[in-house]
Chain A
Amino acid sequence: MLELRDLSKKYGGKFALKRLNLNVPPGQLCILLGPNGAGKSTLLRILCTLTRPSGGDALISNHSVIEEPTDVRRSIGAVLHEMLLYEDLTAAENLRFYSRLYGVPSEEKRIDDMLARLNLLHRKNDRVGDFSRGMKQRMSIARALISSPKVLLLDEPFTGLDVKSKDQVSSMLTEAVTGGATILMTAHDPDMAHDLGHRLLVLVDGKLQYDRQKTSVSKTDFVSEYKRMAGAAP
């Protein structure tokens, strides 16, 4: 579903990503950890087709991000650092816009559905600008999921969320994965990562230093291993 082939990205003279290789089958929830500046956000931006790779390629649902970016965009839903929400529009209007942009059928029903699942239905006709941080993040996820994408790319989606919201989002993601979606998510917290994810990846200094299934390593081992890797980073 998601494949990296010798993927590299260079900014100026420096390599942010160095010949990454990865293969993620459908129905897998991968969590990508790494210290700041490791290149996690850069990788996500390339997968979202917002930036071009300097070398190699990435394939999403068998479409190349270089050759077929439009097809890639059709298969993905992305939650990035920016909320991608129009503050002056209501929750419903925001979702309506994105539904039309993605050609989602029976949009009204879908919008109501999505808002209900993220516990935002009661704020359907309120300005998004008036929402709390947690609500905006949930809206952002609603926006990403509205087109029922096969691949979800999330950049630290739990930032600023309270425990209740975190649980809601986690269950949504698990649900999506059970339904066959592929998820690549970046995170900072190895504890949460081990709880939620199927596969754990660690990116340090532009290289994939670690790639294990959750079931093959205990949480404590993983947490200490991660601390060691992150601590040793330049």
Chain B
Amino acid sequence: MMREAMAVAWKDFRLELRTRERLSSMIIFSLMVMVSFRFAFSFFAVHADDPARSSALVPPILWIAFFFAGMLGLAPAFSKETDAGTLNGLLLAPADRFAIYLGKLFSSLVFIFAVSLSSIFFFAIFFNYDYAGQWAGVIGVTLLGTLAYASIGVTVSALSSTAKTRDVLLPLLLITVTLFTVVVPSINATSNILTNDYDAAMTHVRYVIAFTLISFVLSYFLFDEVLED
């Protein structure tokens, strides 16, 4: 199983290295979101010395960027294969369908992590903000949150890849399924970390981790049905 999953992931990396389509669109989008917020919130300049306001404002901005940039990373995972007709190549392989899920999850995660982490740094630059020194905590929550997001996102992306309306459908399905389960707890956890409230942060983080496990289990049982004819 792992061998096939790694083959799929390696192939995605090779393709991305060759074309650089996904990463570039994701990073540009993330930058656009940051810049838009920078000007939308010009009245509420983010001050490092006003922790209450920053800790309330920063996480939502970050997570809106992560959510949509992440979506740009998840959509091509299956739509490219469907459009190019290569999906059958994957389906013909004598591998568990779950191996395809794992492979796509791994490659999507690497892209989404890369963009999320760069977003965190861009944000620090644009908003002149240093996360109250809590870099490790913020990055940690981001990684866990994006893992949760992708773990169900890959399945949802596969679900919508054959629909004619997939460009609109994917965001709709993703929001329904991840808004209150991943995005909101991650925002809360990040907020808590920025105000040094680790206990509260852990409650939310535990929830996100539980959600990730549930997503894995659901995908394990349902992914076969999503891909097969």
A residues bordering B, Cβ < 8 Å? 45, 48-52, 70-71, 73-74, 76, 78, 80, 82-89, 93, 97-98, 100-103, 143
Pick the contact of A88 from B15, B93, B96 — CB < 8 Å? Answer: B15
**CB–CB B92/A50 < 8 A:** yes
- Tell me how many residues of B have a C-beta within 8 Å of chain A: 25
**CB–CB B95/A101 < 8 A:** yes
Give the chain A neighbours of B92 by CB distance below 8 A. 48-50, 73, 76, 78, 84
**CB–CB B84/A87 < 8 A:** yes
Decide yes or no whether B164 CB sits under 8 A from chain A. no
Decide yes or no whether B68 CB sits under 8 A from chain A. no
Q: List 20 A-B contacts (CB under 8 A).
A: A45-B229, A48-B92, A50-B88, A71-B94, A73-B94, A76-B92, A78-B92, A82-B88, A84-B85, A85-B89, A88-B15, A88-B18, A88-B19, A89-B14, A97-B14, A101-B90, A101-B93, A101-B95, A102-B93, A143-B89
Task: List 8 A-B pairs, minimum CB-CB distance, nearest first.
Answer: A82-B85, A100-B7, A84-B89, A74-B94, A73-B94, A101-B93, A97-B11, A51-B229
Give the chain A neighbours of B7 by CB distance below 8 A. 97, 100-101
CB distance from A158 to the nearest CB of B (A): 19
A-contact 0/1 string along B12-51, CB 8 Å cutoff = 0011001100000000000000000000000000000000
Give the chain A neighbours of B15 by CB distance below 8 A. 86, 88-89
Residue of B nearest to A83 (CB): B85
Q: How far is the CA of A122 from the CA of B84 in the complex (A)?
A: 25
A-B contact count (CB 8 A): 69
Give the chain A neighbours of B93 by CB distance below 8 A. 73, 98, 101-102
**CB–CB B18/A89 < 8 A:** yes
With A71-B94, A73-B94 already in contact, the answer to whether A101 and B88 are too (CB < 8 A) is no
Pick the contact of B10 from A50, A80, A100 — CB < 8 Å? Answer: A100
Residue of A nearest to B99 (CB): A101
- Within residues 66 to 115 of chain B, which ones have a CB less than 8 A from any CB in chain A? 84-86, 88-96
Pick the contact of B4 from A50, A51, A100 — CB < 8 Å? Answer: A100
Residue of B nearest to A46 (CB): B229
CB distance from B54 to the nearest CB of A (A): 43
CB distance from B178 to the nearest CB of A (A): 30
Q: How far is the CA of A93 from the CA of B11 in the complex (A)?
A: 8
**CB–CB B96/A101 < 8 A:** no
Pick the contact of B86 from A48, A85, A102 — CB < 8 Å? Answer: A85
With A84-B89, A88-B15, A89-B14 already in contact, the answer to whether A100 and B95 are too (CB < 8 A) is no
Residue of A nearest to B11 (CB): A97
CB distance from A111 to the nearest CB of B (A): 14
Give the chain B neighbours of A45 by CB distance below 8 A. 229
**CB–CB B3/A100 < 8 A:** yes
